[in-house]
Amino acid sequence: MSAGVSTLRTARAEGAATDPAAMTGAEAAAQIARGALSVEELARAALARTDRLEPMVRAFSWLDRDRILRRAREADKPRAGKGPRGGLHGLMLAVKDMIDTADMPTQHNSPLYIDHRPGQDAAVVAICRAEEALIVGKADTHEFASGGRLAASRNPHDLAHTPGGSSSGSGAAIAAGFAHLALGTQTGGSVLRPASFCGIFGMKPTWGTVSQEGAKLYAVSLDTMGWYGRSVGDLALMAQATRAVRRPVKPRKTLRGTRIGLCRTPWWETGSDAMKAATERAAVLLRDAGATVVDFDLPEGFEQLNDMQNKVMRGEGRAAFLADYLRHGTRLHQDFRDRVEDADAIGWEGLRRAQDFCAACRPRFDAAMQGWDALLVPGALGAAPRDLTTTGDPMFQRAWTALHVPCIGLPGFADANGMPLGVQLIGPRHADAELLELAAAAARALGAAAVNPVDPTEPRP
Amino acid sequence: MSAGVSTLRTARAEGAATDPAAMTGAEAAAQIARGALSVEELARAALARTDRLEPMVRAFSWLDRDRILRRAREADKPRAGKGPRGGLHGLMLAVKDMIDTADMPTQHNSPLYIDHRPGQDAAVVAICRAEEALIVGKADTHEFASGGRLAASRNPHDLAHTPGGSSSGSGAAIAAGFAHLALGTQTGGSVLRPASFCGIFGMKPTWGTVSQEGAKLYAVSLDTMGWYGRSVGDLALMAQATRAVRRPVKPRKTLRGTRIGLCRTPWWETGSDAMKAATERAAVLLRDAGATVVDFDLPEGFEQLNDMQNKVMRGEGRAAFLADYLRHGTRLHQDFRDRVEDADAIGWEGLRRAQDFCAACRPRFDAAMQGWDALLVPGALGAAPRDLTTTGDPMFQRAWTALHVPCIGLPGFADANGMPLGVQLIGPRHADAELLELAAAAARALGAAAVNPVDPTEPRP
């Protein structure tokens, strides 16, 4: 490949794993269903990795390994007469630590919420429990998922690099094999950016299809629940469990007959050479696999979407932090006081214009997508920065969040340093099932139908 | 007046109350500030009414009178060196029982949430506590503020009549003088309809200006926090405390120079004769007081807004009840199972069209409001139905909720049976302060700058 872009070293085919520690959630679920693997074995394999690597990776803000084993053993007990197992039975799930859990703290990585214990699960957590996921712990997050204190998590591919954010620990936990599935949230780029940086699969479903109740709200017209896994099958399991999709996902066997727009976006030139090369390479691979891949330009005016998304986020964010502002004053991090005080001077009119602009773009995007199955876009600006004081830039995520459309992050590439480079597939609103079905075939075409967990190496000198 | 419409018997001028039990929140705050009234006296006066009348009115789903007195005495203690009192200091606040309170149950009027205790306050509750409101209890609500089981609350003007809903107990508590202020929510018409039915003042601010965090979410693009009081001054206190307005509210001294559109709306003919007469009478009174009041027609296509709002509400509501659906199955009321299962067959496309339609109308409404200070519209379809199995119809509220605009409900009229008839003032988005300032003068012009609490009478035979 060009510009020093190569295949991601953790990429593999699906169904190839025999080691429980390497299985994707979907692979493990199949093994458990046929009685070839117990939930306890699966949990022990993940816990062994966690025991060994978590001190370096720091994905979790809260973890109780003994409880995980007790629950795993409980999950293996026969359940006479209780009907079929839940869709996430036995799979280990990490929950971003700004989503409430009734039986674990929810600390938001904020000094103001140390050992904070809400008395109830967030809606999505209750849903995952009802589907029998094994919730393993709370994944570290950028403070309140929006600013302030960075997560302590590091990129398992190279610990000197950020895993991205704000869903930092969620991405890291999946990449390192500490859990099969992880919940994140996206208001700007906080699910899909870590997916690209950490070389894993990520999904942001259509806005509004999964309840935000019990998660820290930031900008209500943008906030979207999302998730990670190590294959499209994992993403589909979560999409089905949460009813983001309302029919079974039937992965496409081939890309023949599909029409994919290569959308460099107005921000293409800000991307690194390696990311551009990875995106162009992905287009070639998809075309080789039978898809029609043709250049696609966003409709006129869409180049303003990043700026408009930012205004909506900060403008709606004024309401999000007022309670803590009044309660804690200057103990609240400046970033959040700035939101309350409208330090960016967005103003009400600026907010309205931005909200109305984003809203008007949504039906225009759907119309532009007539005849197209998906867009192929860069996964992020580049590989994860070698810098633990940043989470990177959501330049290639903001617009899709504002458009409310489903996004799937596929791994497969790496730069000259072996750091992951992913791509995104974007669909029209509510075409989440179709997008998953196409993404399954696309992932195979990219040579990364699944990824193995990665063992962190010491940072390069 | 015509059609048997008269002045509401509880209507009065502001500043006229000497009995603490009759004072508005704003009047009481002024008395407390000058040292003429203690918080404990004020609380005892309200509690005396509650002790006597709550068994009939049933506004509360949870109430702890002894705690109220302890907190009132605490509020009267000197606070050397602690800075100015909060904006709601000493005022009694009821909280709709689908908004979380850390120290009181949040039961949603659902059999699935009996004695449910979240471990944290909702954002708006935390804000009101920071502003030193005295939270007196939880106001009964339609189940999950959206369907299922009706609140047990009755209309204090006549106990055989509904107080409206879903903020049933909040409206009843204010009308009966059990609290000075009450929190409600509106996704369809659930703040402003009870305001009209109960002869009190209500406000739904611009969408997104007050956090919904910690309230039951229903349709995220519609859900709006709101409140009640017995004067515009009370509404302004809440608007300032929640920062729905970001500058001090300076009530207009006169309506001269204002331009108000009499907007009968496309639903005018469904209104009762009495409501039509009250609205027309309000137009005359505002004109007599110096406002220019001219007929105003909504832009073309707006007649679809009610239907579109309903589709957005039900379509977005699909995500709202999934957790309880999975956890509780058929123990969850059919209304909520219907939402999850899309029993209305709205579908994703129907939802998108409705969302996009409502969004497109918002800037069009703002443009149409250029040169107008407010619209005058009916308060509700008619007076409160004499029927405790319904909360009435949100026909005259839905559109404004969908448009995200601020709404203020003003009382002042009554039908031939003495049942209240109110009107609404509607402003453009984010003009909440201006709307309050105009509403203060409008309320005076309607002869109802404030209302007294009402003593419930036994139902008419």
Strand, coil or helix: what is A129?
helix
Residues of chain A in contact with residue B316, where contact means CB-CB under 8 angstroms, are 208
- Distance set, CA A196 to CA A154, B264, B321, B403 (Å): 14, 54, 32, 38
Catalytic, A190? Answer: yes
Q: Residue ranges of the domains in chain A?
A: 6-307+350-451
B218 Ramachandran zone, left/alpha/beta (phi>0; psi -120 to 50): alpha
Between B120, B127, B320, which is nearest A326 by CB? B127
Catalytic, B190? Answer: yes
Helix-, strand-, coil-residue percentages of chain B, each rounded to 5? 40, 15, 45
CATH superfamily, region A6-307+350-451: Amidase signature (AS) domain (3.90.1300.10)
Nearest-Cα distance to chain A for B284, in Å, is 33
Sort strands B407-414 and B259-262 into parallel, antiparallel or unpaired. unpaired
Contact A186, A224 (CB under 8 A): yes
Assess whether pLDDT exceeds 60 at residue B192: yes
Q: Classify residue B89 by burial, with Cβ atoms within 10 Å: 0-12, 13-18, 19+.
A: middle
Write out the two tokens for B43.
Answer: 């609380």
Residue of A nearest to B214 (CA): A214
Write out the two tokens for B101.
Answer: 């309170």
> What digits encode the pLDDT tens for the residues B203-238?
999 999 999 999 999 999 999 999 999 999 999 999
Strand, coil or helix: what is B12?
strand
Rounded Cα distance, A444 and A162, in Å: 27
Rounded Cα distance, B88 and B93, in Å: 9
Strand, coil or helix: what is B362?
helix
Catalytic residue, chosen from B146, B166, B167, B170, is B166
Nearest-Cα distance to chain B for A454, in Å, is 34
Rounded Cα distance, B460 and B441, in Å: 35
Alpha-carbon torsion angle A224, A227, A228, A234, nearest 10: -130
Q: Model pTM greater than 0.90? A: yes
Residues 6+ apart with CB under 8 A from A313: A187, A188, A218, A219, A222
Catalytic residue, chosen from B96, B216, B276, B311, is B96
Rounded Cα distance, A406 and A205, in Å: 4
Inspect the interface and report whether the beta carbons of B126 and A323 lie closer than 8 Å: yes
Q: Which residue has the tokens 């709205």?
A: B346
Between A117, A123, A216, which is nearest B119 by CB? A117
Size of interface A-B (CB pairs under 8 A): 131
Residue of B nearest to A341 (CA): B246
Inspect the interface and report whether the beta carbons of A220 and B208 lie closer than 8 Å: yes
Inspect the interface and report whether the beta carbons of A126 and B326 lie closer than 8 Å: yes
Between A118, A355, A360, which is nearest B119 by CB? A118
Would you state the pLDDT for residue B441? 98
Residues of chain B in contact with residue A221, where contact means CB-CB under 8 angstroms, are 208, 220-221
Q: Looking at this protein, which amino acid is placed at residue B143?
A: E
Q: A interface mutation test: which of B99, B120, B223, B332 has the most A CBs within 10 A?
A: B120
Helix-, strand-, coil-residue percentages of chain A, each rounded to 5? 35, 15, 50
Q: Is the ipTM of this complex over 0.90?
A: yes
CB atoms within 10 A of CB B51: 11
Q: What is the CA radius of gyration of chain A?
A: 20
Residues of chain A in contact with residue B128, where contact means CB-CB under 8 angstroms, are none
Peptide bond into B166 cis (omega under 30): yes
Write out the two tokens for A174.
Answer: 């999946």
Catalytic residue, chosen from B167, B190, B196, B231, is B190
Nearest-Cα distance to chain A for B187, in Å, is 15
B35 Ramachandran zone, left/alpha/beta (phi>0; psi -120 to 50): left
Q: A interface mutation test: which of B224, B247, B322 has the most A CBs within 10 A?
A: B322
Residue of A nearest to B217 (CA): A213
Rounded Cα distance, B246 and B175, in Å: 28
Q: How many residues does chain B have?
A: 461
Inspect the interface and report whether the beta carbons of A242 and B352 lie closer than 8 Å: no
Inspect the interface and report whether the beta carbons of A216 and B213 lie closer than 8 Å: yes
Residues 6+ apart with CB under 8 A from B202: B171, B184, B191, B192, B194, B195, B196, B226, B227, B228, B235, B407, B408, B409
First CA to last CA across chain A, in angstroms? 26
Between B127, B320, B429, which is nearest A352 by CB? B429
Would you state the pLDDT for residue A269? 97
Strand, coil or helix: what is A193?
helix
Task: Give the model's confidence band at B3: pLDDT under 50 very low, under 70 low, under 90 confident, else very high.
Answer: low
Inspect the interface and report whether the beta carbons of A323 and B124 lie closer than 8 Å: yes
Contact A80, A101 (CB under 8 A): no
Rounded Cα distance, B397 and B191, in Å: 9
Contact A280, A392 (CB under 8 A): no
Task: Give the model's confidence band at B359: pLDDT under 50 very low, under 70 low, under 90 confident, else very high.
Answer: very high
Nearest-Cα distance to chain A for B120, in Å, is 6
Residue of A nearest to B355 (CA): A359
Mean pLDDT of B128-148: 95
Residues 6+ apart with CB under 8 A from A370: none
Between B130, B221, B429, which is nearest A326 by CB? B130
Peptide bond into A6 cis (omega under 30): no
Per-residue pLDDT of chain A (461 residues; tens, 9 = 90+): 566 899 999 999 999 789 999 999 999 999 999 999 999 999 999 999 999 999 999 999 999 888 999 999 999 999 877 788 999 999 999 999 999 999 999 999 999 999 999 989 999 999 999 999 999 999 999 999 989 999 999 999 999 999 999 999 999 999 999 999 999 999 999 999 999 999 999 999 999 999 999 999 999 999 999 999 999 999 999 999 999 999 999 999 999 999 999 999 999 999 999 999 999 999 999 999 999 999 999 999 999 999 999 999 999 999 999 999 999 999 999 999 999 999 999 999 999 999 999 999 999 999 999 999 999 999 999 999 999 999 999 999 999 999 999 999 999 999 999 999 999 999 999 999 999 999 999 999 999 999 999 998 666 55
Residues of chain B in contact with residue A117, where contact means CB-CB under 8 angstroms, are 119
Percent residues over pLDDT 90 in chain B: 94
Rounded Cα distance, B440 and B445, in Å: 9
Rounded Cα distance, A115 and B173, in Å: 36
Between B126, B221, B430, which is nearest A348 by CB? B430
Strand locations in A55-205 (E):
60-63, 92-96, 134-139, 181-186, 201-204
DSSP-assigned beta bridge partners for residue B229? B201
Closest CA to A8 of A280, A288, A200, A182: A200
Residues 6+ apart with CB under 8 A from A103: none
Rounded Cα distance, B290 and B4, in Å: 26
Distance of CA B94 to the CA centre of its chain: 12
Catalytic, B82? Answer: no
Inspect the interface and report whether the beta carbons of B356 and A356 lie closer than 8 Å: no
CB atoms within 10 A of CB B84: 7
Rounded Cα distance, B132 and B130, in Å: 5
> What digits encode the pLDDT tens for the residues B241-295?
999 999 999 999 999 999 999 999 999 999 999 999 999 999 999 999 999 999 9
- The alpha carbon dihedral of A403, A408, A414, A417 has a sign of positive
Residues of chain B in contact with residue A402, where contact means CB-CB under 8 angstroms, are none
Between B118, B220, B430, which is nearest A352 by CB? B430
Residue of A nearest to B103 (CA): A119
Catalytic residue, chosen from A96, A138, A204, A311, is A96
> What does the buried/exposed string (b/e) look like for A378-416 if buried means 16 or more CB atoms within 10 Å of the residue's CB?
bbbbbbbbeebeebbbbbbbbbbbbbbbbbbbbbbbbbe
Apex CA A452: angle with CA A448 and CA A458, to 5°? 120
Task: State the greatest distance between any 2 C-alpha atoms of chain B, in Å, as a whole number.
Answer: 61
Q: Which residue has the tokens 């696309």?
A: A442
Inspect the interface and report whether the beta carbons of B127 and A213 lie closer than 8 Å: no
Inspect the interface and report whether the beta carbons of B316 and A116 lie closer than 8 Å: no
First CA to last CA across chain B, in angstroms? 26
Nearest-Cα distance to chain A for B429, in Å, is 8
Sort strands B92-96 and B181-186 into parallel, antiparallel or unpaired. parallel
Residue of B nearest to A360 (CA): B360
Inspect the interface and report whether the beta carbons of B127 and A322 lie closer than 8 Å: yes
Q: What is the CA radius of gyration of chain B?
A: 20
Q: Looking at this protein, which amino acid is placed at residue A451?
A: V
Inspect the interface and report whether the beta carbons of B323 and A208 lie closer than 8 Å: no
> What does the buried/exposed string (b/e) look like for B346-384 if buried means 16 or more CB atoms within 10 Å of the residue's CB?
bebebbbbbbbbbbebbbbbbebbeebbbbbbbbbbbbb
Inspect the interface and report whether the beta carbons of B323 and A210 lie closer than 8 Å: no
Closest CA to A340 of A360, A317, A358, A308: A317
Would you state the pLDDT for residue B81? 77
Closest CA to A138 of A112, A162, A172, A164: A172
Inspect the interface and report whether the beta carbons of A319 and B363 lie closer than 8 Å: no
Inspect the interface and report whether the beta carbons of A127 and B323 lie closer than 8 Å: yes
Rounded Cα distance, B176 and A169, in Å: 51
Inspect the interface and report whether the beta carbons of A243 and B212 lie closer than 8 Å: no
Contact B433, B408 (CB under 8 A): no
Rounded Cα distance, A255 and A444, in Å: 10
Q: Which residue has the tokens 């009907």?
A: A83
Residues of chain A in contact with residue B327, where contact means CB-CB under 8 angstroms, are 126, 130
Would you state the pLDDT for residue A81? 77
Task: Give the model's confidence band at B1: pLDDT under 50 very low, under 70 low, under 90 confident, else very high.
Answer: low
Inspect the interface and report whether the beta carbons of B327 and A130 lie closer than 8 Å: yes
Inspect the interface and report whether the beta carbons of B323 and A120 lie closer than 8 Å: no
Phi first, then psi: give them for residue B406, nearest 5 degrees.
Answer: -75, 140
Q: Which residue has the tokens 């489903």?
A: A406
Residues of chain A in contact with residue B216, where contact means CB-CB under 8 angstroms, are 213
Rounded Cα distance, A68 and A133, in Å: 11
> What digits encode the pLDDT tens for the residues B69-94?
999 999 999 987 778 899 999 999 99
Residue of A nearest to B215 (CA): A213
- The alpha carbon dihedral of A366, A367, A370, A372 has a sign of negative
Rounded Cα distance, B117 and B98, in Å: 11
Catalytic residue, chosen from A166, A167, A221, A231, is A166
Rounded Cα distance, A369 and A116, in Å: 44
CB atoms within 10 A of CB A252: 18
